[in-house]
Amino acid sequence: MEADRRVGVAVDFSASSKNALKWAVENVIRKGDHLILVTIRPEGNYEEGEMQLWAVTGSPLIPLSEFSDPVVMKKYGVKPDPETLDIVSTAATQKEVEVLMKIFWGDPREKLCEAIDNIPLSCIILGNRGLGKLKRAIMGSVSNYVVNNGSCPVTVVKHHD
């Protein structure tokens, strides 16, 4: 991978996404990288201010200092949990990486693939929800879609209960 790596991690603040984030920090992230948390919000009412501007392109890249602030994140409709913030804050200082967040609104499958191209990402890491065969067939697998349609290397980190 290139020197100025942009490592994406899909986060929805679930146990599986936190597991993928921890795995990325332990196994992929190295000094000088950009760790970019990509979160997807469901499509909603964009009547409110800035979110309407970002419906297509996603939010601007949000630095760790801002996405650690609940007041700032409220305008995006996102509430990062303390464990996720702790993981990325520790990574920022110990591994000397720049941590950013990018928020998209819409279908996670499509928006993660768009994020790969638009940010652009060197690679993306995501967790799996551990859906059974029936649920996966009905609902579709986000990780499977990104593996098959993403334009960069994709790592799926299995979540074990």
Residue-by-residue pLDDT tens, the chain, 161 positions: 456 899 999 999 989 899 999 999 999 999 999 999 999 987 765 555 566 667 778 899 999 999 999 988 888 888 889 999 999 999 999 999 999 999 998 889 999 999 999 999 999 999 987 555 655 555 568 888 999 999 999 999 987 76
Q: Which pLDDT does position 1 carry in this prediction?
A: 45
The pTM for the full model equals 0.89
Q: Which pLDDT does position 135 carry in this prediction?
A: 54
Q: How far is CA 135 from the centre of its chain?
A: 23
| Count of Cβ atoms closer than 10 Å to residue 15 Cβ | 13
Phi, psi of 150 (to 5 degrees): -70, 150
Q: Which pLDDT does position 76 carry in this prediction?
A: 83
Dist CA 29 CA 31 (whole Å): 7
Dist CA 141 CA 130 (whole Å): 9
The closest alpha carbon to 22, from 154, 161, 159, belongs to 159
